[in-house]
Amino acid sequence: MSDGTKTMTRDEMMTRVARWKDQKPNGQMFVDTRLPEYERDLYSIIGQGVSEDPDNPVAITDVEGFHMAYIGCEPGKGASLHSHPTVEVFIPVTGKWSIYWNEGEAGEEVILEPMDCVSVPPGVMRGFYNAGTEHALMIGIVGGTDATKVEWPAEILDRARATGLRLDADGNILEASAAE
């Protein structure tokens, strides 16, 4: 009877290592990133996540139950309200971050500092922004091996469309010229 352990070679394990110095940010992983208040750098460390960019570079492609990204942005910048059918966990690495949820008058917010953590349930509209005074980094983790796509409020999709971006039927970003 096997005890469930497995042996890996160094070469096999090295395919599961992501070095920060080698990561390149994707500034247009989502349809909202072209809107000034939602500009941010996104680094897909483990898995594609909920990216809308089919060419998004991924450091570790073997996904087993979750996807992880690093998020970096300037003060006041972040992500629009959005939802997806998976849990999403946020852990600030530097700075202060606002995690907000619900639309309109039902809106709520919590401020997180380094190493604090929040787990947002599936289906809840959530967003975030750098609430500090300097560029900051945060880790985002999305549950599931297949992370699916993001649901956006109609207003964000309309504003993105005005910049020349839209989503195709599969939820991938298209430039207006490619969409026509």
Q: How far apart are CA 4 and CA 27, in angstroms?
A: 41
Residue 41 lies in a domain: yes
Burial 89-116 (b: 16+ CB within 10 A, else e): ebbbeebbbbbbbeeeeeeeeeebeeee
Which residues, listed in sequence order, are joined to residue 173 by a DSSP beta bridge? 167
CA neighbor of 54 nearest in space, from 169, 177, 180: 169
* Domain span at 173: 22-179
Rounded CA-CA distance 74/54 in Å is 25
The per-residue pLDDT for 145 is 84
Q: Say what the pLDDT of residue 3 is.
A: 80
Number of domains in the chain: 1
Rounded-to-integer distance, Cα 105 and Cα 87, Å? 23
Inside any domain, residue 59: yes
Q: Are 15 and 62 in contact (CB under 8 A)?
A: yes
pLDDT at residue number 179: 43
Burial class of residue 121 (count of CB atoms within 10 Å of its CB; 0-12, 13-18, 19+): exposed
pLDDT at 147: 75
Other beta carbons less than 10 A from residue 151's beta carbon: 15
Would you state the structure tokens that stand for residue 37, as one six-digit string? 């208040």
**Cβ partners under 8 Å of residue 59, min gap 6:** 18, 22, 23, 43, 44, 45, 46
What is the pLDDT at residue 2?
66
CATH assignment at residue 108:
2.60.120.10
Q: Find residue 91's DSSP bridge partners.
A: 139
Tell me whether residue 12 is in a domain: no
Q: How confident is the prediction along the chain (180 residues), in pLDDT tens digits per residue?
A: 568 899 999 999 999 999 999 999 999 999 999 999 999 999 999 999 899 999 999 999 999 999 999 999 999 999 999 999 999 999 999 999 999 999 999 999 999 999 999 999 999 999 999 999 999 999 999 998 887 889 999 999 999 999 999 999 989 999 876 444
Residue 14 lies in a domain: no
In this structure, the number of other CB atoms found within 10 A of the CB of residue 67 comes to 25
153 located within any domain:
yes
Determine, yes or no, domain membership for 1.
no
Greatest Cα pair distance in the chain: 61
pLDDT of residue 178: 46
